[in-house]
Chains A and B, each alone.
Chain A
Amino acid sequence: MSVRQLHRFHGGVHPPEHKMASNGSRIEPAPLPPQLIIALSQHIGSPAEPLVAVGERVLKGQMIAQASGTLSAAVHASSSGTVLAIEPRPSAHPSGLAAPCIVIATDGEERWLERQPVPWRDWLAAGDVRAIRDYLRDMGVVGLGGAMFPSHLKLTGGALQTLVINGAECEPYISCDDRLMRERAGEIVAGIALLAELTQASEVLVGIEDNKPEAIEAMRLAAGGSAIDIVAVPTIYPSGGAKQLIRILTGKEVAAGVRSTDLGVQCFNVGTVYAAYRALEHGEPLISRIVTLTGTVAKPGNVEALLGTPLDFLLHHAGAHDEMEACIYGGPMMGFALPTLAAGLTKAGNCLLAKSQAILPRAPAEMPCIRCGACADACPAELQPMDLYWFARSKQFGRAQERNLFDCIECGACAYVCPSHIRLVDYYRYAKSEIWAAERDKQAADLARERHTFRQFRLERDKQEKAERLAARAAAAKQQAAGKAEAAAKTAQAATAVEQASAANASMPAGDTVAASKGAPSMDDKQAKIAAAMARAAARRAGTPATGDTPDPVLPSVAAAQNEPATPAPALTESAATPAGSDDAAALRAERIRQAMATAKARRTGTLAPPPADPKQQKREMEAARLAAMSVDERAALEAEKKAKIAAAMARVAAQRQGEETSAQRQSEDQPAQRGDEEKS
C-alpha cells in the first residue's frame, strides 16, 4: 500500500460516533411486508411515470414506472404481488405531505422477473455509452449516499482522471456502508472495476474513514493486486461529503458553480457502486438497500430492506422501544424527524434512528447569537454561517444568496458547535425554500405579464381590423349604390383614399409603410383599382341588367362573388411593388377580404338557403374569376405573400416563446404599426 499524501478540508467537527451499536452484526434480510408503498419520486428530478394499472399483477424487479425526462430514473416492484393503488401517500419528507406512490400487496412468492446480464462490455467496445446510460436509468440506479442523483447522468462518456469511491460514512450512528464493505467487498470491488472501465478513469481512489478498520481490511483484501487504491482517511465529520472527500483524496477544491467532472473527478457512493454492479452484471434493478436501524431499538443493526417497506414495519422489526419519541430519517446531523411512519422506504433511506430523550436529548432553547465565529471555523464549505443566519432571519434572502447560501451542504457542523444552540441549518433550509418559492412566483408573474401584454396587443389589433373592415364595407355599399361605371370608378378612388388614409393612420410611426402607400406604387394602385372597378361594373351589367339602388337580397352574393376576385388585385400590386414595407397593410387587407367572403357566405346561406350544390358552384365561380383576373405575376405575388405571412406568423410565435424582450423586438419588426400604438399606450 502506497502512502498517499492526504489533504485537509476547512473546518469539520468530531461528534460522538455511536456506530458500535449497529455495526457489530451481519446484514439481515428484512422480512417481507404485506404492503409495499413505492414512491414515484425517489430521485432528484421529475417523478417517474407509472407503467402499471391498479389490479395488475407485477413480478419482483418489474419496472412499474419509467423515467420521465432527462433528470429522472425508473422505479421497480420490489416484490411480486398485485398493484393495490396508485395514489398520493404520505412520504418520507420533512413536510410529510402526500406524494404519488404505487402500493403493492405482496403475495409472498417473491417471484422474479427473468433476469439476464446485459452485454455492456460489447456496448462499451462499440462506443455506445448511451445504451449503458439508458440501461442504468431503466434499472433505477441512483446515488444511495443520500443525494439520490440519477447515476447514469454521471457517466458522461469522457475519460476521467480520478474516480473517487465514497466509503467514508462520516455521519454518526450510520453503519450501512461499513457493513456492506465488510460483507460484500468482492462485489463492490468488481463494481468499482466496472465503473472505472466505464469512466476510463486513470486513477481509482476509495476513501474510507479510519474508524472502520474491518471495512478497510476487507476492501484491501478484495482489491489486492488491482489498481484500486483503498485509502484510510482521518475520521472527521463531514469527510463523506463529495466535495470534502475529493478535497481530502486529491487536494482539488471544487469551487462554487463548478462540477467535479469539470476537474476530471467523479464520486460514487459504495452503495451505488454495488447497485450498479448488480444491475450490469446480474440484470437486477435497484429494489432494495441496506438500512441501519438504530437508536432506542431492541435489535440495532443493518437490514437489507425492500424499497417501499413501510417504515413503521421496519421499526417494529427492529423492536422500537416505547420511549421512542421520534424517528429520524438519515443521521442525527443531516437527517430529519419523520412526520409520519406510514411512508415507504426510499432509495435515500440509509438510516432509521429511533430517538429518545436518553440518546438524543432535545436541544435547549435557542439563545441569541454571540458572534463567536465558532460556526465559521467549523464550516466545511468555508461560508460565514452567522451572516447567512442573520440574513435568513431578517428575510434578506438576496444577500444570503450573494454570500453563497446555495453552497451550504447542510451538514450541520455549524449548528453542532453553536454555543447558543441555534438550529442554523433549519434557517438555511428555510431561506433556500423561500428563494425557490420566490423564483417560482417570479416565473409565474413573468408568464402572466407576457400573456397579458399579448392579449392587449391582440385586442388592439382586432379593433383596428374591425374598423377597417367597416370602412371597406361602407365604401363597397356606396359603390353599389352608384350604378354607372364612372361613378363606380370614382368611388373606387375614394375607397383607395380611405384605405390609404387608414393604412397611413395605422402605420404612423413607421415611415416605410407610409412612404410605400403614398409613394411610387400609388399610381399603379389607383389604375389597378379603377380597372378592377370597371371590370366589376361590366360584369354586373352583363349578369343582371336590373341593378337596383338598394342591395337586392339575391344580389349581394353575386356581387360579393364578383367583388372578391377583383379586390385582391390592388393589394397584390402593392405588395408586389413594396413587399417589405407594405406587408402589414397587405396582410390587413387580405384579412378583410377573407372576412368579407365569410360574411357574404353567411348572408347567402342565411337569406337564400340555397341547395347544397349551390355554394360549391359559387365557390368554383369565385375561384375561376379570381384566377382569370390574375396575371402570372400576380399569382406569383400571391404565393410570395402567403409565404411571407406564414413566415411572419411563425417568427411571431417563436419570438413570443423566447421571451418578452425578443418578442418586443420581433413585433416591432413584423408589425411596426401595432407596436407603435402599443408603445404609445
Chain B
Amino acid sequence: MSALGLSLMLMAGLALLLGAVLGFAAVRFRVEGDPIAAQIDAILPQTQCGQCGYPGCKPYAEAIANDEADINQCPPGGDDGVRKLAELLGRDYKPLNAEHGAPAPRALAVIDEARCIGCTLCIQACPVDAIVGAAKHMHTVIAAECTGCELCIAPCPVDCIAMLPVGVTIPTWRYPTIPLKVVA
C-alpha cells in the first residue's frame, strides 16, 4: 500500500514538475511568428503579383505553411521554385498549376510618358512603390525596383503601361547549359 502510494505520489510529483517546466519553456522560449512561413517566404520570388490568389508572397507563404494552399501556384517562381518548396516541405514535386498562369520571362513595366494622364492609379496598385509621380503629373517606373508583377497594367485608364522583357546583358548572361547526350 505504502509502496503503491509512494510510487503514485512520485509519478504525480514528476508529472507536475515536468508539466511546470514545459509550461514555463512554452512561455519563455515562445517563437514569434511562423518560422516555416518565413522559410517559404524566402523561397518565393517576392514579385507580390497575386497570381497565386493571395494578396502577396507572405500571405501565400502563410497559406502554404497552414496547408491551405498548394506549392505549385507561383508562376514567377517557376518549376525551380516548386522544387525548392517541395524539398523544404518534404512533399512531392508537382508541375505548376496552369490555373494560376504560365511562367513568363522577367519583364519590366514601362510607362509611355507621353500618354500618361497622371491619374495615380498605377501608383496605388504597385505593391513595391516602384512608380513615382503625382496627380496630374507624369508617372514613371523605377526600373531597379520593378518586380514585373503587371498589377499596374489593369488600373491604367489610358493603357499607357507596357511590359518590356528584360534583355540579357553581359553581366547577366548565363553560361548555356551543355546539351547532355543521354548515354545509356
Q: Which of B46, B168, B170 interacts with A448 by CB under 8 Å?
A: B46
User: How many residues on B have C-beta within 8 angstroms of the other chain's C-beta atoms?
Assistant: 30
Contact B127 A393 (CB under 8 A): no
Residue among A95, A365, A427, A449 with most chain B CB within 10 A: A449
Contact yes or no, A95 B57, CB < 8 A: no
Q: Is the CB of B173 within 8 A of A97?
A: yes
In the bound complex, how far is the Cα of B147 from the Cα of A93, in angstroms?
29
CA–CA, A368 and B33, complex, Å:
48
A446: B residues at CB distance < 8 A? 46
A374 to chain B, nearest CB (A): 19
B163 to chain A, nearest CB (A): 16
A429 near B: Cβ within 8 Å?
yes
Given the known interface contacts A41-B170, A97-B169, the answer about A452 and B128 at a Cβ–Cβ threshold of 8 Å is yes
Alpha-carbon gap, A423 to B128, bound state (A): 43
A 81-111 contacts with B by CB, 8 A = 91, 93-95, 97, 99
Main secondary structure of the interface of B (DSSP, over half): loop
Within 8 A of A (CB), among B7-63: 32-33, 41, 44-48, 56-58
CA distance A448 to B146 in the complex (A): 8
Residues B177 and A679 in contact, CB atoms below 8 Å apart: no
- B181 vs chain A, min Cβ distance (A): 6
In the complex, whether B159 has a CB less than 8 A from a CB of chain A is no
A607 to chain B, nearest CB (A): 22
- A448 near B173 with CB under 8 A, answer no
A430 touches which of B41, B44, B178, B183 (Cβ 8 Å): B178
Main secondary structure of the interface of A (DSSP, over half): helix
Taking CB atoms and an 8 Å cut-off, the chain A residues in 374-429 that contact chain B are 393, 423, 426-427, 429
Q: Which of A7-15, A305-313, A431-439 lies at the interface?
A: A431-439
Contact B128 A455 (CB under 8 A): yes
Q: State whether A455 touches B47 (Cβ < 8 A).
A: no
Contact B169 A365 (CB under 8 A): no
> Which B residue's beta carbon lies closest to that of A99?
B170
Central interface residue in A91, A95, A99, A452, by most chain B CB within 10 Å: A452
A95 close to B48 (CB less than 8 A):
no
| Contact status of A430 and B177, CB under 8 A, knowing A451-B128, A452-B128 | yes
Once bound together, how far apart are the Cα atoms of A570 and B116, in whole Å? 46
4 new A-B pairs (CB below 8 Å) besides A367-B183, A451-B130? A433-B174, A434-B175, A448-B48, A451-B145
Residues of B within 8 A of A (CB): 32-33, 41, 44-48, 56-58, 127-130, 145, 147, 168-170, 172-178, 180-181, 183
Q: What are 22 sample pairs from A and B whose C-beta atoms fall under 8 A apart?
A: A41-B170, A94-B175, A97-B169, A366-B183, A393-B180, A423-B178, A433-B173, A433-B174, A434-B174, A434-B175, A437-B172, A437-B174, A440-B172, A441-B45, A444-B147, A445-B44, A445-B46, A448-B145, A452-B46, A452-B56, A679-B32, A679-B33
